Chains A and B, each alone.
Chain A
Amino acid sequence: MDMKRSYYEDIQLLDSGTKKFWFGSLIIILLIIPFLIPGYYLHEVSYISINIIVAIGLNILVGYTGQVSLGHAGFFAIGAYAATLLVKHLPFFPFIFALIIAGLIAAAFGFILGLPSLRLEGPYLAIATLGFGMAIIQILGRFSVFGGRMGLSVPDIGFLNDLLYDSGLFTKTQSRDVNLYYIIMSITIIMALMARNLMKTRIGRAFIAIRDSDIAANSMGINLTKYKTLSFAVSAFYTGLAGGLYAFWMGFINPDSFDFILSILFLAMVVVGGLGSNIGPVLGAIIISFLNLNLQADSISAIPLLGDLLTVITENWMNKGGIASVSIIIFGLILIFIVLFEPLGLFGFWIRIKKYWKTWPF
């Protein structure tokens, strides 16, 4: 049933009718979402969508090429600042080109960071990427072009704003959110399809070969220099582009929002979702960024049963205002338990469920 008869069948993007159907329905649902859910949640969906782009990009590097990176917040920051400065200083420059250029600048940095990866592995590469991320923040915080520690305000990209407002369906603030939502979501879908396509090409197969064994890949004629740096560059392009979108979404950027913790968050999305799969990082990004947005102090004490217990513990033994930190503990526990019990992440769960029902009742 799953047999493929030609190479062209293998490289098809949507290879079965079922997939085409679900993909089409997904697009339709995403198109009508702004009419169904209120403004604030739409804002959140846009944020999640930005993180999906980062997770997909990071997955190309970590999941498919097998290189560790703890510095993706650096690329994210580069993208955000590049896009902001371009739009700010060249007002008539279309934002979409600004985003692409921001992605390319990040990709150039990715290429440079990819060079040490040719010789480093394991903790050595981790510390090199980590250092890159921290150095970027320090440099951005220092120069006044980048707004220093105070940060920069980002001009609004009013692409469809007026159109949406004139249609009479949305208020002024709503139409800003809806506009951003459509821009971010369409870019996310394009980037996701591109990533899926990339993995079906010669380049994608080279990445996977490097992950499985770089020595074997090298002896089969895969140019390690080319493909490792390319993987870093592609991953950085995704992250930089997402960084640009984040700047437009946030409306304000400063160096502190791109710290080391953000890099861990990105890595967590990929790991929780499932390394080396297409759907995994998307699921991971959705869950992690949803928790990140919604797990605040009051929502923790509102969790049924557990919330009351945590409140009592906090009042008796802990610091009064400290209950918000429980979310950090939960985040850490998720990371540990995913690796301990399901190294393939949510994608692994999905595979198991699928297998179970395929052979049910056996």
Chain B
Amino acid sequence: MIFFQLVIDGLSIGSLYALLALAMVIIYKTSEVPNFAQGEMAMVTTFVSYHLMEYYGFTFPVSFLGSLIFAAMLAVFFEFFFLRRAKEPNILNFIIITLGFERMLYGLAAWKWGADQRLYPSSFDPLPISSSDTFNFGIISVSHISLIIMSVAFVLIGGLVIFFKFTRLGIAMKATQQNLLASRINGIRTNRIMSFTWGLSAMVGAIAGMLFVPGTATPLDSNLMLAPLIKGFAAAVLGGMTTMIGPIGGGFILGIIEKFFGFYISSEFETTVSFTIIVLVLWFRPSGLFGRHYIRKV
């Protein structure tokens, strides 16, 4: 049955979009910054993990963890030195700052690793995984790697939902988003919360990046994350940027739409169609499918 195969493929790619969207929503929820640099942060992190494996001979798990720490440090650095210093914190200025950071990271990656395409190692030594193996469940086949992507995504999403609902830190993050001043009065160190948010978000995005590259067999170059970033952003907007369920649902819906449209009609207009759908959805639900629309009080 091609139908189930497409659903599985859609879920697999959709879970990557969901992770990227989630990374953006974590930041947007806390600080109302639409982070256009998310994709490039993930791209640079992926390059770092590649570099650790290729030039320093580390194993996959070590380089994975190492680059996660790098991602967190990069994001905290950015938040501390650039974003916090913004004189007039409004949405346009935030967009400009993150776009500027996006360009910086892009330039840095192109400077360091050049324009030629490189291949991410396809075996994850010493883990017994290879990107070419597949499981066959009767009629549908799932590659190991997309199974891993999906399970990592599900575990991560579940963990984050629990984190935001039940831990002190998660609740403090939500409080910071809802009312900065009130949470400061109540003893939350909002600046520290911001740094932590950025670190967490960068790690989630970096995981998405490091799964995306081997999962879709994309060669590494500095343009790597542009398309996924935009899809992830679109997923977040589709689902609604103020909820946890929004980006997850949005990511899966976008992934499945993309696969079905690509198979039954044409894979050339994937982006056009997904954006048309998003604009239509937003027309009827301006805060996304799952978001609640808040009317601003004057």
Show the binding face of A for B, using Cβ within 8 Å.
Answer: 62, 68, 70, 115-116, 119-124, 126-128, 130-132, 134-135, 138-139, 142, 213, 215-216, 260, 264, 267-268, 271, 275, 314, 317-323, 325-336, 338-341, 343
A96 to chain B, nearest CB (A): 32
Query: Which chain B positions have C-beta within 8 A of A318?
Result: 111-112
Closest to B113 in A: A319
Contacts A138-B269, A331-B103 given: A340-B92 contact, CB under 8 Å? Answer: no
Report which of B87, B287, B288 forms a contact with A340, defined as CB distance below 8 A. B87
A319 to B287, CA, bound (A): 44
Query: Which chain B positions have C-beta within 8 A of A128?
Result: 237, 275, 278-279, 282
Query: Which chain B positions have C-beta within 8 A of A332?
Result: 99-107
Contacts A119-B286, A339-B100 given: A328-B271 contact, CB under 8 Å? Answer: no
B173 close to chain A: CB less than 8 A: no
B42 to chain A, nearest CB (A): 17
B118 to chain A, nearest CB (A): 11
A275 to B88, CA, bound (A): 13
B272 close to chain A: CB less than 8 A: yes
A132 to B105, CA, bound (A): 25
A206 to B215, CA, bound (A): 51
Q: Assess the B34–A322 pair: CB atoms within 8 A.
A: no
Q: Assess the B101–A336 pair: CB atoms within 8 A.
A: yes
Q: Is the interface of B mostly helix, strand, loop or mixed?
A: helix
Contacts A333-B100, A334-B100 given: A135-B111 contact, CB under 8 Å? Answer: no
Closest to B109 in A: A325
A116 to B230, CA, bound (A): 19
Q: Assess the A68–B111 pair: CB atoms within 8 A.
A: no
Closest to A136 in B: B272
Closest to A343 in B: B88
Query: Which chain B positions have C-beta within 8 A of A116?
Result: 279, 282-283
Q: Kindly list the 5 A-B residue pairs having the minimum CB-CB distance in the complex, ordered from nearest.
A: A131-B275, A335-B100, A328-B107, A332-B103, A319-B114
B185 close to chain A: CB less than 8 A: no
Closest to A322 in B: B111
A128 to B230, CA, bound (A): 11
Closest to B283 in A: A116
Contacts A142-B268, A339-B86, A340-B85 given: A329-B113 contact, CB under 8 Å? Answer: no
B163 close to chain A: CB less than 8 A: no
Q: List 24 A-B contacts (CB under 8 A).
A: A70-B95, A122-B32, A123-B95, A123-B241, A124-B288, A127-B233, A128-B237, A131-B279, A132-B279, A139-B272, A260-B230, A271-B96, A319-B110, A322-B111, A325-B108, A326-B107, A326-B111, A328-B106, A329-B104, A332-B105, A336-B100, A339-B93, A339-B96, A343-B88
A142 to B241, CA, bound (A): 32
A168 to B239, CA, bound (A): 65
Of residues A121, A124, A318, A329, which shows the largest number of chain B Cβ atoms within 10 Å of its Cβ? A124
A104 to B296, CA, bound (A): 35
Query: Which chain B positions have C-beta within 8 A of A333?
Result: 100, 104
Query: Which chain B positions have C-beta within 8 A of A213?
Result: 298
A35 to B87, CA, bound (A): 45
B7 to chain A, nearest CB (A): 24
Query: Which chain B positions have C-beta within 8 A of A264?
Result: 99, 103
B196 to chain A, nearest CB (A): 22
A215 to B28, CA, bound (A): 24
Q: Assess the A134–B271 pair: CB atoms within 8 A.
A: yes
Report which of B92, B115, B275 forms a contact with A62, defined as CB distance below 8 A. B92
B276 close to chain A: CB less than 8 A: yes
Query: Which chain B positions have C-beta within 8 A of A131?
Result: 230, 234, 271, 274-275, 278-279
Query: Which chain B positions have C-beta within 8 A of A341?
Result: 87
A332 to B85, CA, bound (A): 16
A219 to chain B, nearest CB (A): 9
A318 to B111, CA, bound (A): 6
Query: Which chain A positions have C-beta within 8 A of B93?
Result: 339, 343
Q: Assess the A321–B100 pair: CB atoms within 8 A.
A: no
B234 to chain A, nearest CB (A): 6
Q: Assess the A335–B108 pair: CB atoms within 8 A.
A: no
A7 to chain B, nearest CB (A): 30
Contacts A322-B114, A336-B97 given: A135-B272 contact, CB under 8 Å? Answer: yes
A181 to chain B, nearest CB (A): 30
Report which of B32, B111, B269, B283 forms a contact with A319, defined as CB distance below 8 A. B111
Q: Assess the B107–A329 pair: CB atoms within 8 A.
A: yes
Contacts A123-B237, A126-B34, A336-B97 given: A314-B111 contact, CB under 8 Å? Answer: yes
Q: Assess the B237–A124 pair: CB atoms within 8 A.
A: yes
Q: Assess the B111–A138 pair: CB atoms within 8 A.
A: no
Q: Assess the B286–A124 pair: CB atoms within 8 A.
A: yes
Of residues B108, B269, B276, which shows the largest number of chain A Cβ atoms within 10 Å of its Cβ? B108
B73 close to chain A: CB less than 8 A: no
Q: Assess the A138–B103 pair: CB atoms within 8 A.
A: no
Query: Which chain B positions have C-beta within 8 A of A70?
Result: 95
Q: Assess the B102–A123 pair: CB atoms within 8 A.
A: no
Of residues A70, A120, A139, A325, which shows the largest number of chain B Cβ atoms within 10 Å of its Cβ? A325
Query: Which chain A positions have C-beta within 8 A of B86?
Result: 339-340
Query: Which chain B positions have C-beta within 8 A of A215?
Result: 296, 298
Report which of A62, A122, A343 forms a contact with B34, defined as CB distance below 8 A. A122
Query: Which chain B positions have C-beta within 8 A of A321?
Result: 114-115
A335 to B96, CA, bound (A): 7
Q: Assess the A328–B110 pair: CB atoms within 8 A.
A: yes
A65 to chain B, nearest CB (A): 12
Q: Assess the B237–A127 pair: CB atoms within 8 A.
A: yes
Query: Which chain B positions have C-beta within 8 A of A334?
Result: 100
